[in-house]
Structure formats: C-alpha cells, structure tokens
Amino acid sequence: MIQPVNALSPKVSYRGSRFENQNPINRKMERRLAILNAGGISVITGALTTAIARSYTASWKSAGLFGIGASAITMMFICPRFLYKSGVKAYTKQKEMDVFTKEKEIQTKLLSDVNNAIDNHQEDLDSKLDNYSKTQPSRSKI
C-alpha cells in the first residue's frame, strides 16, 4: 500500500548535485549508533537481572549491584561485535555510494555529450557512444 509523504516521513539524504563529489555516508554516526544500540541492550539486561535478583536477595542495593555487573559484562561482550559490524557496513555503503556517484557522473557526461553532438552535428555520435562503452566497467554477477 502506498502511503502519502508527510512531515514525519524520513528524508532522503542524497539529493543530486548538492552532494556531487561528496559521500553522504557518515562513519562516525554509524559508530555512535552501534554504541547506543549496545548500551541499550546492556541496560535492558541489567534491569532484567536486577528484577530477577531482587526476588532472591533481601535488598534492592545488592540486586542493583548484580544488575550493574550484568550490564557491564553484556556491554563488554556486545559492544565490540556491534562496532565491527557497523564498521564493515559503513565501509561497504561508502564504496557503493562511490560507485553510484561515479556512475552518475559518467551518465551526466554522456548525456551532455549526446546533447552537444545532436546540437552541433559536427561530432560523430557513434564515436562518442563507443568511447562511453569502453569507459563503462563490465558488470559481472558474483
């Protein structure tokens, strides 16, 4: 089902000529989000451990200490994994966007050359297309 676009819908970060030679992927933001996700999971783990430990201990203080310990151990094991995965994902996204921007530059250049060739009638259109096909990388399926 197609829904209408409103003020609460997410914005598109790539808008064409504004980011002509810029890559919109931000590695620092990806890293911060990974740390935030790991922290959220560890806080939830700590809260659950505190709630469970409270039924076995006499005070909230000792149950809270168990929760803090569980939270720290969870953060210690989960955070490096999340940081590694976010780094790999950000790197692949960045390379994909580099390919995308280069492809858009080539397409823009080709279209402007074709437009100029049609307007001028002096340059040979077939030679332009042959030149473009030689510069275009071959796309193989992996």
Residue 99's SS3 state is helix
Question: What digits encode the pLDDT tens for the residues 70-81?
Answer: 999 999 999 999
Query: Taking 70 as the threshold, does the pLDDT of residue 39 lie above it?
Result: yes
Output 38 or 139, whichever has higher pLDDT: 38
Question: What digits encode the pLDDT tens for the residues 111-134?
Answer: 887 777 666 665 566 776 776 677
Query: Taking 50 as the threshold, does the pLDDT of residue 12 lie above it?
Result: no
In the Cβ-directed half-sphere of 76, how many Cα atoms lie within 13 Å?
6
